[in-house]
Amino acid sequence: MSGRLSSLLPMSFLFFSLSTMAQVKTLTVAAASDLSAVGPELKAAFCRSPENCPVRLVNGSSSVLAQQIDQAAQFDLFLSANAAYVDHLASNGRIVPSSVKPYAVGRLGVLWRDGKKHPLRELGTPAAKYVALPNPKLAPYGVAAQQALEYAGLWGMVQSKVVYAENVRQALQLTESGNADAVITSDSLLQGKDADLIPADWHQPIVQKAGIVAATQNRAGAQSFLEFLLGPAGQAILAKYGFSKPW
């Protein structure tokens, strides 16, 4: 009997292991483009044991991600750069209303293609033939960039030079590829580069909100990641990439 029992143990252990693995659901997070640089570090800090913590970050413009969630895309958690998208989705039942939380305030930075710092007023001179901005119709950073340029009295000189991108990351890529001489985009993407920070009081605050997708099959995982993001460890990582606390 003992021999028979011992022969069954490996099979039982294998069944238990497969069963345990099956219970570890992938957490799919729809994350705004301004989180594309910080995302891997957030994931690494959240997942102390990556093999037992399958987290997938899907980056894109908040407007596109919101549209996908509205059309029942299989996301578990939405980290938007635009608070209005989360509020709208919560109002129509796509996001759990009680889960909606502000998690960060974004900042704007200016980067020139030549890698050198320039006075902001040079955006209105021949030194900048094209200036890349996120599209204000899609991205809150685009709205804030226009507000900042208006505050500085430069919008009238810069408007005709603007090339718009769908999101903050694509705006940066326009400059990196040589298709724009300068870019105003999320400061979170400019860490480690010789960029200038635009004063926060030049534009309305870029308050970013998160919410758990109502149709999630991994509510516990989404709640756990959201709590991590709002906690000291998550906020410290966001601060490292230029985000401010929303409270």
Instruction: State residue 53's pLDDT score.
Output: 83
Q: What is the mean pLDDT of residues 204-213?
A: 98
Q: Specify the pLDDT at position 11.
A: 44
**Region 99-111: what's the mean pLDDT?**
98
Overall average pLDDT of the 26-37 stretch: 97
Lowest pLDDT segment from 8-17, 26-35, 137-146: 8-17
21-105+206-240 is classed CATH 3.40.190.10: yes
Q: Is the pLDDT of residue 107 over 50?
A: yes
Confidence tier at 20 by pLDDT (50, 70, 90): very low
Question: What six digits make up the tokens of 219?
Answer: 């509510």
Calculate mean pLDDT across residues 25-35: 95
Kindly tell me if the per-residue pLDDT of 24 is higher than 50: yes
The C-alpha atoms of residue 117 and residue 21 are separated, in whole angstroms, by 51
CATH topology of domain 108-197: D-Maltodextrin-Binding Protein; domain 2 (3.40.190)
Residue 25 pLDDT level (bands cut at 50, 70, 90):
confident
Query: What pTM, to 2 d.p., does this model score?
Result: 0.88
Mean pLDDT to the nearest integer, 174-196: 97
Q: Average pLDDT, stretch 201-230?
A: 97
Is 2's pLDDT higher than 60?
no
In this structure, of 45-49, 120-124, 171-175, 191-195, the range with the lowest mean pLDDT score is 45-49
| 21-105+206-240 and 108-197, same CATH topology | yes
Please report the pLDDT score of residue 14 as a whole number: 39
Higher pLDDT, 247 or 214: 214
pLDDT of residue 49: 63
Region 107-115: what's the mean pLDDT?
Answer: 97
The domain limits of the chain are 21-105+206-240, 108-197
Whether residue 60 is predicted with pLDDT greater than 80 in this model: the reply is yes
Q: Is the pLDDT of residue 88 over 70?
A: yes
**pLDDT confidence bin for 48, thresholds 50/70/90:** confident
Give the range among 46-50, 69-73, 82-86 with minimum mean pLDDT.
Answer: 46-50
Q: pLDDT tens for residues 126-141?
A: 999 999 999 999 899 9
pLDDT of residue 51: 64
